[in-house]
Structure formats: C-alpha cells, structure tokens
C-alpha cells in the first residue's frame, strides 16, 4: 500500500505557505489560496525510511587495522630508542648522559642505570647532592659520587665526595672547576639497552629491523597511493613521490647516524663514568693464580681471552720470577693450542695427578710460591701480561703488585670490571659469568683475593665481558 505524501511549498508570488497532498511521483496542480496563482508540483517517486538509511561509510584509511597498529607500535619503539639512546645523549652541552657499570653508588645508582647530570652553578651544590665531576689533571673519566662536605676557602668552593657503597670518602677533593653537573635523575637499566644496541645483534634488533619495517610500510603506502592516483596524473603524484623519497632518505640518514653514535656513547668503569669503553683488555690476560692447594704443589695459572676472536697461542710462554728475581720457565704451550673467544686456557702442576683433577690444558712440574711473579709472553718474547703478589725483587708486574700472598686453597683472580669483589666474582655473584677482562695495568687494582678458587680450562663455557674491549 502506497501512502499519501505531504509537502509544504511556498507561493512564488505572495510567499504564502501551501500544504499539498499526493502520491509518490504524482504531478499536482496547485493554486495559491491567497493570490490564486497556479502552479505544478511533482512529488518524489519514493522516500527511503529512516531505519533503512545506510550509515556513512568509514574510509579504510581511518580504520586502525592490525598492520597500522603494528606500524604505529614499531614507530613508537624506534622513536623512543632514538630519543633515549641517540638524540638525548648527544645533548652534552647542558646535560650529560652517563652509563654506570660500577656499584659504588648502590643502591641509588646501580650497574646499567643511566645517570643524567645537569650543569649547575657550583654555589648551588650542597651536602647530600649527588654530583658528576672529572679531575682536571687525571684520566679522562667521569665520576659520580655524593657530596659529604662543602668547603669555601677565600671564595674557592671545593667538595668532599663519597660513594654510597664505599666505606671512606674519596681521597681527592673536588674543585669547583672540576664539577660537571648535578644528578637530576636516574633511568634504571637503560644502560643495558644502550650497551646491547652497541653490539651487532643489538643494533640489528633495535635499529635496523624496526627502521626497515617503518620504511617498508611507508613505501607500500606510497605504492598504493600511486595506484589510486596514476590515472589522474599531475602535481599530486609528484608531491607523493617527493614526500616518499624524503621519508626514505631521512630514515637512511638516521640509521647511519645511529650506527656511528652507538660506538661513542659514554659508559663507565666501576664508579667512574668515562667516554668510550670500560677498562676491558683487548689481549690475553692472566686471569687467576693459585700457589697452593691441599698440597703446596697444587698450583695453577688460568689465562683468559676477552676478545671476540679465537687465538692461536702455540709457542706462547709462561714464565716466573722468584722473590729474589731468579727467572725460569713454567711452560711453553704446544703447537695447536687454541683459546676460544671469551674462553679460557689452564696450566697446572702435574704432581699427584692435580693437573688431571682440574682438567688442565697443559701441565709441568714447575711450582709457584709466595712473593713470586709470572708473565705470559708471545713466541718472540714480548710480554703480553704479568702479575706479581707479595714483595719481590725485579718482578714481572704491571703497576703495583697485589699486596697479599694467597694462602692454601686461595687464589688471586682478575676482576670482571672495576666494581668486582670476591663476593661478586664467586658462585651466584653478579660477575660470576662476566669473564675476567678488567685491565688498568695495575695488579693491585685489577685482582681480588678469592677464598674459593675456580680454575677454568678450554672446555669451560666462554664468558663475555660486560663491556667491549678498550
């Protein structure tokens, strides 16, 4: 059944409003009741009921598809990575971004945290502030410690500092001219991300892959747009091409800049924050020495390779000097001796089956004793590394000798990093699997006394240093 339609129209002559009845599609003669002006009005053929009207179509470009959500997520992660690991650390004018690898400020600043220090006027520094400084006549290192006292002599400010985890204040006084900034805030664990990004795997995972996804997504959007617009031609297509090329070019530039920057970011050594890498050796090192076990002859010398390359140590020599400076050979390594990247190599005394019991790679009847020193030499006689303990005449030594003689069933072990201790190097410690690469060319600073020796050989699991070699 077709229903009548009503329509109100306006007389073109006197502007009187007239209501007209009719059927859909019907042409009706209408006469104005006021001025008698005649006219025709045609009703629409049909009117779609309101409940049948289609909703306005949402353009696909406005729908958050899974692909778009993924692209947005990747872009957000990539942007955050660039911001915190690349862009902000380059703003070293008014602020310094430093990565802590030492525990001297624990628990407030822990290993792997990023410390943000802001430049301030020295007069603003007060007791209990945590500051970053660098000794002007010392090594190019940053140090971050707490102020425990402020002195003012004739207008010259100076600061006494101390690490929260250290028992004693720092030996040197910090002058106002050595002040770098005051710690504004600390970002937990971000240093690990930055350090991971500096590795090949990390760079690919955190930079190359996200960047490639973003670039690929943009190129695909450009191709789809070109397909829609190709029949129209003209200026719009040119603009799209220019914009697409700009996105691609900027992305490539950013990626290139990122790769170069990740090898310049500032990191720290112990409680010291420095530019470049930590004090990790880039050569073979003597990593642990025992001079007596259950028997006085139960001696071993462990060697560690902190580099990422396996090394052939055929013909290398292990030599010792006694307390009087008398020198003799411990062992010349046989042909085919290889030490894996981040791996170990072990010499032990052969008496009483001790070498077999610890899985030594090589052995001999040579012995070690108190106040001795040893050196690792290349086939041509160049000293690669040396360590001395106790006191002796003309020792093999780097810097100052380790001050204590290890007792029976004790050893001296090279640190994994500057903050390492006997506890952190022991089983379950944070440095247990961080290798033994710490090397400041000072035996006294680079070794700790171990109460439970852990000799490792060429079959032991490789241990990667916590930071790249220097």
In the numeric block, the tokens 């109100």 are attached to: 8
Q: pLDDT higher for 135 or 50?
A: 135
Residues 25 and 80 in one domain: no
Band of residue 382 on the pLDDT scale cut at 50, 70, 90: very high
| Both tokens assigned to 423 | 């506890």
Residues 314 and 435 in one domain: yes
> How far apart, in whole angstroms, are the C-alpha atoms of residue 231 and residue 213?
29
Q: Is residue 264 part of a domain?
A: no
Q: Is residue 136 part of a domain?
A: yes
Residues 80 and 35 in one domain: no
Percent of the chain whose pLDDT exceeds 70: 71
**To the nearest whole number, what is the mean pLDDT of the chain?**
79
Which residue, 191, 226, 244, sits at the end of a domain?
191
Q: What pLDDT is attached to residue 446?
A: 95
Q: What is the mean pLDDT of residues 419-443?
A: 89
Q: Is residue 23 part of a domain?
A: yes
Residues 123 and 17 in one domain: no
Q: What pLDDT is attached to residue 269?
A: 36
The answer, yes or no, to whether residue 390 has pLDDT greater than 90, is: yes
In the numeric block, the tokens 């004793």 are attached to: 369
Q: Is residue 231 part of a domain?
A: no
Q: Is residue 392 part of a domain?
A: yes
Q: What is the mean pLDDT of residues 112-118?
A: 84
Percent of the chain whose pLDDT exceeds 90: 40
The answer, yes or no, to whether residue 35 has pLDDT greater than 90, is: no
Q: Which of 54-68, 89-103, 123-137, 230-244 has the highest mean pLDDT?
A: 123-137
The answer, yes or no, to whether residue 92 has pLDDT greater than 60, is: no
Residues 95 and 184 in one domain: yes
Band of residue 104 on the pLDDT scale cut at 50, 70, 90: confident
Q: pLDDT higher for 172 or 141?
A: 172
Q: Which of 92-106, 116-130, 315-329, 406-420 has the lowest mean pLDDT?
A: 92-106
Residues 320 and 426 in one domain: yes
Residues 293 and 408 in one domain: yes
Residues 27 and 167 in one domain: no
Band of residue 61 on the pLDDT scale cut at 50, 70, 90: very low
Angle, vertex CA 190, rays to CA 128 and CA 470, nearest 5 = 95
Angle, vertex CA 264, rays to CA 95 and CA 194, nearest 5 = 80
Q: Is residue 98 part of a domain?
A: yes
Q: Output the domain CATH number for residue 437.
A: 2.60.40.1260
Q: pLDDT higher for 189 or 227?
A: 189
Q: pLDDT higher for 75 or 138?
A: 75
Q: Which of 55-64, 405-414, 444-453 has the lowest mean pLDDT?
A: 55-64
Task: Count the domains in the chain.
Answer: 3
Which residue, 191, 211, 242, sits at the end of a domain?
191
Q: Is residue 205 part of a domain?
A: no
Q: Output the domain CATH number for residue 164.
A: 2.10.109.10
CB neighbour burial string for 258-273, b if at least 16 within 10 angstroms, e if fewer: beebbeebbbbbbbbb
The parent domain of residue 87 ranges over: 75-191
Q: What is the mean pLDDT of residues 121-131?
A: 94
Which residue, 171, 191, 211, sits at the end of a domain?
191
Per-residue model confidence as pLDDT tens digits over 265-274: 343 333 444 3
Concatenate the DSSP letters of all residues of 229-281 into one string.
HTTT-SHHHHHHHHHHHHHHHHHHHHHHHHHHHTTT-EEEETTEEEES--SB-
Q: Is residue 54 part of a domain?
A: no
Q: What pLDDT is attached to residue 266?
A: 41
Residues 79 and 25 in one domain: no
Residues 117 and 182 in one domain: yes
Residues 129 and 14 in one domain: no
Q: What pLDDT is attached to residue 252?
A: 43
Residues 29 and 112 in one domain: no
Work out the burial of residue 323: count CB atoms within 10 Å of its CB; fewer than 13 is exposed, 13-18 middle, 19 or more buried.
middle
């Amino acid at each position: 059944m077709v229903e009548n339609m009503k329509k109100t129209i306006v007389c073109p002559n006197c502007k009187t409003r007239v209501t007209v009845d009719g059927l859909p599609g019907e042409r009706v003669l209408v006469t104005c009741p006021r001025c008698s002006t005649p006219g025709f009005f045609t009703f629409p053929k049909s009117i779609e009921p309101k409940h049948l009207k289609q909703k306005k179509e949402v353009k696909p470009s406005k729908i958050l598809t899974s692909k778009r959500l993924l692209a947005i997520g990747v872009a957000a992660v990539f942007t955050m990575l660039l911001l915190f690991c690349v862009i902000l650390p380059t703003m070293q004018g008014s602020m310094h971004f430093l990565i802590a690898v030492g525990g001297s400020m624990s628990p407030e600043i822990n290993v792997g945290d990023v410390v943000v220090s802001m430049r301030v006027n020295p007069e603003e520094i007060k007791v209990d502030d945590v500051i970053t400084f660098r000794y002007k006549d010392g090594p190019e290192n940053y140090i971050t410690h707490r102020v425990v006292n402020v002195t003012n002599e004739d207008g010259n400010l100076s600061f006494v500092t101390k690490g929260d985890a250290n028992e004693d204040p720092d030996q040197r006084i910090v002058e106002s001219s050595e002040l770098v900034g005051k710690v504004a805030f600390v970002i937990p664990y971000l240093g690990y991300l930055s350090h991971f990004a500096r590795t090949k795997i990390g760079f690919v995972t955190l930079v190359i892959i996200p960047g490639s996804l973003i670039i690929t997504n943009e190129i695909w959007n450009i191709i789809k747009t070109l397909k829609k617009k190709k029949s129209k031609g003209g200026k719009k297509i040119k603009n799209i091409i220019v914009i697409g090329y700009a996105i691609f070019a900027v992305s490539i530039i950013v990626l290139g800049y990122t790769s170069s920057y990740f090898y310049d970011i500032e990191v720290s050594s112990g409680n010291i924050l420095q530019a470049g890498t930590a004090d990790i050796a880039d050569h073979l090192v003597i990593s642990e020495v025992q001079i007596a076990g259950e028997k006085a002859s139960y001696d071993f010398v462990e060697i560690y390779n902190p580099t990422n390359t396996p090394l052939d140590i055929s013909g290398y020599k292990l030599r010792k000097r006694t307390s009087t400076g008398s020198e003799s050979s411990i062992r010349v390594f046989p042909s085919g001796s290889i030490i894996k990247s981040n791996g170990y190599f072990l010499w032990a005394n052969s008496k009483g089956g001790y070498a077999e019991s610890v899985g030594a790679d090589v052995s001999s009847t040579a012995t070690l004793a108190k106040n001795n020193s040893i050196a690792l030499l290349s086939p041509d006689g160049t000293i690669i590394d040396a360590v001395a303990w106790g006191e002796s005449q003309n020792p093999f030594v780097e810097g100052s000798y380790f001050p204590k003689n290890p007792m029976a069933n004790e050893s001296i072990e090279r640190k994994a990093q500057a903050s390492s201790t006997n506890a952190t190097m022991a089983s379950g410690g944070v440095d247990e699997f961080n290798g033994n690469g710490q090397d400041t060319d000072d035996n006294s600073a680079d070794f700790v006394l171990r109460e439970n020796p852990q000799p490792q050989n060429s079959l032991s699991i490789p241990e990667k240093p916590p930071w790249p070699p220097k």
